[in-house]
């Protein structure tokens, strides 16, 4: 089920076969240092065990490690750059085998992974793609398509669907008609064009990924994680898109317990344009 946003206790597993109950959040924070206070609110309200952040926008030497560990995350992995991009994994559980991956010949801090609780966790920030959905005239869109192709090939050859893996992040694509406020009007808008959806579908097929949120929410139900800053009243217009995702490989499908899109966070002071997406898993 998708549960309402309220202050919640740490998750407890009552299943005999469960070794770890993990609450996982992915969130495009749109500047970690600017929104450390909001991160603290998310931690206080939702009590996650692991948080994957995108668009941290901070070089590694300025990463606010002390502030993050003070929130209870003793295990932290990050890769960042000044002003743009950047990914981080904050965890109460030990992390090992931390890796970062240059993509498309660029070391632009968009992919980090780590092992946590016996699971390989991938945190991604896929390029937005600019404004014009034509790779011939828009280098940013061409980069986005190439990035998706490279990920699809990599997961399809370097990883196996039988491996317990979680993929999270701002994938910058809203694949379903109900993942956007107007399917018809956004077919020619970057993030919902047919070519992007086709490539995201291929990426999902590469390791037989299961959509961890749509596992609980029917595909005919509208579901958004992002609302533009340009909207004068985002909650009334509700012109959103579901750009942020949590996927699991088949061995973890039965571990999924619940999902939440914390849209109330969009009303907080100086919010990100994305809201946290959360899943609970019994591993």
CATH of 21-282, one of 3.60.10.10, 3.10.180.10, 3.90.800.10, 2.40.50.220: 3.60.10.10
Q: Which two tokens stand for residue 61?
A: 């030497």
Model pLDDT for residues 233-281, shown as the tens digit of each residue: 898 999 999 999 999 999 999 999 999 999 999 999 999 999 999 999 9
Is 44 in contact with 9 (CB distance < 8 Å)? no
Q: Are 168 and 247 in contact (CB under 8 A)?
A: yes
**Residue range 186-193: mean pLDDT, rounded:** 98
pLDDT of residue 3: 39
The whole-number pLDDT of residue 276 equals 98
Domain residue extents for the chain: 21-282
- Cβ contact 268:37 at 8 Å: no
Average pLDDT, integer, range 198-222: 98
Per-residue pLDDT tens over the stretch 60-118 = 999 999 999 999 999 999 999 999 999 999 999 999 999 999 999 999 999 999 999 99
Give the pLDDT of residue 9.
38
> What is the mean predicted confidence (pLDDT) over 4-29?
64
The pTM of this model reads 0.93
> Is the distance from CB of 168 to CB of 246 less than 8 angstroms?
yes
Quick check: 114 and 77 in contact, CB under 8 A?
A: yes
Banded pLDDT at 232 (limits 50, 70, 90):
confident
Contact 258, 279 (CB under 8 A): yes
């Amino acid at each position: 089920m998708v549960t309402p946003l309220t202050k919640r206790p740490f998750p407890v597993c009552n299943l005999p076969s469960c070794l770890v109950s993990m609450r996982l959040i992915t969130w495009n924070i749109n500047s970690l240092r600017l929104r450390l206070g909001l991160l603290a609110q998310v931690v206080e309200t939702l009590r996650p065990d692991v948080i994957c952040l995108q668009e941290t926008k901070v070089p590694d030497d300025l990463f606010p490690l002390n502030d993050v560990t003070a929130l209870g995350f003793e295990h932290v992995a990050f890769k960042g750059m000044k002003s743009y991009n950047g990914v981080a994994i904050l965890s109460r559980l030990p992390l090992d085998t931390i890796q970062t991956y240059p993509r498309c010949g660029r070391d632009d801090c968009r992919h980090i992974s780590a092992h946590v609780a016996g699971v390989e966790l991938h945190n991604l920030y896929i390029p937005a793609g600019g404004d014009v959905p034509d790779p011939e005239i828009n280098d940013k869109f061409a980069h986005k398509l190439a990035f998706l192709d490279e990920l699809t090939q990599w997961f399809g050859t370097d990883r196996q669907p039988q491996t317990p893996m979680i993929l999270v992040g701002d994938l910058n694509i809203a694949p379903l008609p109900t993942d956007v406020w107007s399917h018809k009007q956004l077919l020619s808008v970057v993030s919902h064009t047919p070519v992007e959806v086709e490539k995201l579908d291929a990426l999902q097929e590469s390791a037989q990924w299961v959509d961890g949120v749509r596992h609980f929410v029917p595909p005919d139900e509208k579901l958004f994680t992002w609302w533009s800053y340009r909207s004068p009243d985002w909650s009334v217009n509700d012109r959103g898109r579901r750009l942020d995702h949590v996927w699991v490989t088949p061995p973890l499908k039965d571990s999924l317990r619940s999902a939440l899109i914390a849209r109330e966070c969009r009303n907080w002071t100086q919010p990100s344009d994305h809201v946290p997406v959360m899943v609970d898993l019994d591993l």
